[in-house]
Structure 1
Amino acid sequence: MPTSHSRKVTYSPAYTIVPTYECFNRCAYCNFRTDPGKSQWMTISEAQKLFKPLHSQDICEILILSGEVHPQSQQRQAWFQRIYDLCELALAMGFLPHTNAGPLSFEEMQQLKKVNVSMGLMLEQLTPELLKTVHKHAPSKLPEVRLQQLQWAGELKIPFTTGLLLGIGETQDDWWETLEAICHIHQRYEHIQEVILQPHSPGNQQTFDAPPFDPHQLPRVISHARQILPPDITIQIPPNLVKDDEWLLACLEAGARDLGGIGPKDEVNPDYPHPNYQELQEILEPVGWELVPRLPVYPQFDNWLSGELQTAVKWWRKSLYQTRLVQEGSRNSHVSC
């Protein structure tokens, strides 16, 4: 008889679209960007064609993940409008948008709140030392700029995801300082849903010559992070970057409870394919973990959303609940006593 499901780990059935890979930053570890003017922006009609097949794949989240256009660029307004229009299209077609497009102005965040159920921005690391190394050619990676995004998200009541990138030249003390800064802001606004602990994983495009972050260190980092962060912030780890099944399970035992958006491609780490639901279930289920789909907004934040967004979220919560009932019924029918 299979082990009873005593513990839950969540994931978001997600699909990522990229309005543009162009980015004025040149982070040394990046495997995502292209130079400004070197690639076409995604059109609304292209996005529509991508979205249509997703209705039969139980996808609920559309992650809008974009390269950054300089705040002073003449293209900035067109770039922002394209992101807004893509969010609006995703909503109109029945999905729930979550945008991560780098630092935004307060007014841009205020506008995107209307068409997103949640948003995100990685802090990465708050130490200014990285501005001399991996962030030397990345003007928007100023720690104070990124920290301000978390504050503005709190002021605007935007459910938010942030996180750390581990192994890019920071120290262990830098991890704890960054986590404590997240904790401090959350204590004031109570708006941070998740903190991602993402191990640096080398890719083909980067110029940063450093080994991958040792995934064997992750459980210890997670355990300490769990002590720093309040219990209402979920710790997320990307399962495609923790390739060893035993260490993935060790990360869950240490306190991670979410596996992020699982979709066809990890755009930030394209060299590391996502495992699918069945593969993850085969790892988790035998040792008592139940893999549960979630929405890109956690239930405690539903009343922060507009009426239109709340209606969409309510429909999806009912849909996921019914799907789980069907899955549990199917699973139980195969259990013999």
Structure 2
Amino acid sequence: MSFSPSPPLPLSPSQIPLTYSPAYTLVPTYECFNRCSYCNFRVEPGGDEWMSLERGKEILTSLRGSGAIELLILSGEVHPNHPRRKTWFERIYDLCELGLSLGFLPHTNVGPLTLEEMARLKTVNVSMGLMLEQVTPTLLDTVHRNAPSKRPELRIQQLEQAGTLKIPFTTGLLLGIGETPQDWRDTLAEIARIQRRWGHIQEVILQPHSIGTQQAEAGTAFEAAQLPQVVALAREILPDEVTIQIPPNLVQTPEILLDCLEAGARDLGGIGPRDEVNPDYPHSHDRTLRKILDPAKWRLQRRLPIYPQFDEWLSPRLRVQVERWRSHLADPIFSI
């Protein structure tokens, strides 16, 4: 496991909080009808045995007391007209329900959903997410030419639907897939527009494309030295209340990671045993991160998958569980 909670220390006025979510990822299925050329996650439809509830319970039961708080439900996308679409959705819902019953806080990211599906998942999730990636349609002729659900208007619709339903939401940009710096601006501006309308976006991930061994086409990795520039641009364009997140396992150079923090990044995302989207890049251990950070300036802190300002949007059942976790955030050791 990647969790090693250390006793909390008083936060000095000179320290800046840098957060992360102790998380575990469950994958109902790796099957996906999209064929993004850079993907290191998917398998062909029909080529994967879907996770059973029994297997999910076995895994989650073994994690109790591990320090994991967030249960990330991450799935390949099943076509809206697939004969097993309903079964797939019910499996996702049931895994969230199972996670709640065992004390975890579910966060689901499984691709575009209908308004009705999102509304139902809201009852068993404290937050949800979907990467916008890039709003430029030019990628539909290149890396997304075989990825129908990567149409920008469809992804934007998902963010809007989450806003109408008052679902705390995470989205983000995928960098280095053929977009331009102007595309970064356009995508960030669209997220900012949606946030100003609905106010439900918790954080924006800036994810550099990193070459993996399973992707269909060779491609090139995002130039890491550019990441602080993108962070600064995001901080300029996004509303102040939106947190900027960078994945430390995809930023291999400590100096660049620190430059990203100086530019305005304040969250390191979910840290757990395995990055399912980038399996060639293990998550950073929190103790490793503490060695990189200047303790006089940065204070690495655990957080929940829902930010405090959104607690009032939860149902009473979910809110009780979230409040319970908040009361334990300062404890030296987590247990559930």
TM-score range, shorter chain: over 0.9
Q: Distance in 2 between matches of 1:284 and 1:54?
A: 28
Distance 1:322 1:315 in 2: 12
Instruction: Please point out which of 45, 60, 68 is paired with 1:59.
Output: 68
Q: 1:201-225 CA deviation, whole Å, 9 max, x = no partner?
A: 0101112332211111011110111
Q: Distance in 2 between matches of 1:67 and 1:210?
A: 21
Task: Name the counterpart of 1:160.
Answer: 169
1:207 match: 216
Structure 2 letter corresponding to 1:49: E
Q: Does 1:118 align with 2:127?
A: yes
Name the amino acid aligned to 1:113.
Answer: K
Q: Give matches, 1:81-92, under 5 Å.
A: 81-92=90-101
Please list every run of at least 4 consecutive aligned residues from structure 1 whose deviation after the TM superposition is greater than 6 angstroms. none
Q: Deviations over 1:206-262 (max 9, x none)?
A: 123322111110111101110100010000000000011111111000000000000
Task: Say which of 283, 294, 299 aligns to 1:290.
Answer: 299
Q: Deviations over 1:146-185 (max 9, x none)?
A: 0000000000000000000000001110000000000001
The residue type paired with residue 127 of structure 1 is: T
What is aligned with 1:34? 43
In the alignment, what sits opposite 2:87?
78
Q: Does 1:253 align with 2:262?
A: yes
| 2:278 matches 1:278 | no
Cα offset, 1:323, TM superposition: 3.3
Distance 1:125 1:323 in 2: 40
Counterpart code for 1:204: T
Which has a greater percent of helix? 1
Query: How far is 1:53 from its partner?
Result: 2.3
Please show how residues 37-48 of structure 1 align to structure 2 within 5 Å: 37-48=46-57
Structure 1 equivalent of residue 6 of structure 2: none
Report the alpha carbon displacement of residue 57 of structure 1 after superposing the two structures with TM: 1.3
| Residue of structure 1 equivalent to 2:278 | 269
Given residue 246 of structure 1, which amino acid in structure 2 is its aligned partner? E
69-78 or 3-12, larger mean C-alpha shift: 3-12
Give yes or no for contact 2:15–2:296 (8 Å, CA) kept in 1: no
Counterpart of 1:299 (choices 305, 308, 316) is 308
- Alpha-carbon separation, structure 2, partners of 1:231 and 1:321: 26
Aligned length: 323
Per-residue CA distance 1:134-155 (angstroms, 9 max, x = gap):
0000011110000000000000
Query: What does residue 146 of structure 1 align with?
Result: 155
**For 2:154, what is the secondary structure of its paired residue?**
helix
Q: What letter corresponds to residue 206 of structure 1 in structure 2?
A: Q
Superposition CA RMSD, Å: 1.4
SS at match of 1:322: coil
Counterpart of 2:266, as a letter, is: R
Distance in 2 between the 1:324 and 1:156 partners?
A: 34
Distance (whole Å) between structure 1 residues aligned to residue 131 and residue 58 of structure 2: 29
**TM-superposed deviation, 1:281:** 1.0
- 1:104 aligned partner, one-letter code: L
Shift of 1:321: 2.4
Corresponding residue for residue 176 of structure 1:
185
Match of 1:219?
Answer: 228
- 2:295 and 2:79 mapped to 1: Cα distance? 49
* Correspondent of 1:128 among 109, 133, 137: 137
Residue type of the alignment partner of 2:33: F
In structure 2, the residue matched to 1:197 is 206
The 3-state SS of whatever aligns with 1:97 is: strand
Deviation at 1:282, TM superposition (A): 1.1
The whole-number CA distance in structure 2 between the counterparts of 1:284 and 1:87 is 34
Matched-pair identity in %: 62
Task: Give 1:324 shift.
Answer: 8.5
| Counterparts in 2 of 1:324 and 1:49: CA distance versus 1, 3 Å | closer
For 1:335, the equivalent position in structure 2 comes to none
SS in 1 for 2:331: helix
SS of 2:332 mapped into structure 1: helix
Q: State TM-score, norm by structure 1.
A: 0.94
How far did residue 287 of structure 1 move?
A: 5.2
Structure 1, unpaired ranges of 5+ = 326-337
